[in-house]
């Protein structure tokens, strides 16, 4: 018996729960109240257009919570349905292979700039470490011989 076998246990689809709706409601109410707060700040004497921008932005965040929750439910239920229909993970792989056609996609050659071609000797000459070298000259040789006392 493999790990990927279902053993006859079918998972239940995820449902909209009261706790999810309560949390979602709190998040949306918080976003709307923050938008109202920014709107009142904008209307005050010291309000700026930044406050106005936030007043328009906060309701979008609340809408994002709703959309994200709906998509999460949809994707989770699609996954559960696929796992329940398939006896094992190999069947899921084959189903994905049919959907996405198992073809390799490549970047068009004209999209990226051409790579420079350089031979090994030139590359090694350019990347030879030179301790204390400045512009290809050795600092000690450029300063002349050191006098000893």
What is the average per-residue pLDDT within 90-98? Answer: 67
Whether this prediction's pTM lies above 0.75 is answered by no
Has residue 19 got a pLDDT over 90?
yes
To the nearest 10°, the Cα dihedral for 62, 63, 69, 75? -150
The Cα–Cα gap between 9 and 84 comes to 8
The Cα–Cα gap between 68 and 70 comes to 6
Has residue 2 got a pLDDT over 80?
no
What is the average per-residue pLDDT within 46-52? Answer: 92
Contacts of 36 (CB under 8 A, 6+ apart): 55
**DSSP per-residue letters across 45-100:** TT--HHHHHHHHHHHHHHHHHHHHHHHHHHHHHHHHHHHHH-SSHHHHHHHHHHHH
The Cα–Cα gap between 147 and 139 comes to 15
**Longest pairwise C-alpha distance within the chain:** 92
The more confidently predicted of residues 11 and 35 is 35
Q: Would you give the DSSP letter of residue 10?
A: P
Has residue 117 got a pLDDT over 70?
yes
What is the average per-residue pLDDT within 5-18? Answer: 78
pLDDT at residue 3, as a whole number: 46
Q: Which residue has the tokens 């999209």?
A: 111
């Amino acid at each position: 018996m493999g790990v990927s076998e279902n053993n006859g246990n079918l998972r239940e689809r995820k449902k909209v729960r009261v706790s999810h709706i309560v949390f979602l409601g709190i998040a949306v109410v918080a976003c709307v109240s923050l938008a109202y707060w920014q709107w009142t700040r904008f209307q005050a004497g010291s309000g700026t257009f930044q406050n106005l921008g936030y007043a328009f932005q906060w309701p979008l965040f609340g809408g994002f919570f709703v959309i994200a929750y709906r998509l999460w439910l949809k994707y989770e239920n699609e996954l559960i349905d696929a796992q329940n229909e398939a006896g094992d993970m190999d069947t899921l792989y084959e189903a994905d292979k049919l959907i996405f056609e198992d073809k390799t996609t490549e970047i068009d050659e004209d999209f990226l700039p051409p790579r420079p071609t350089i031979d090994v000797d030139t590359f090694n000459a350019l990347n030879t470490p030179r301790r204390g070298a400045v512009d290809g000259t050795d600092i000690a040789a450029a300063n002349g011989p050191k006098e000893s006392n």
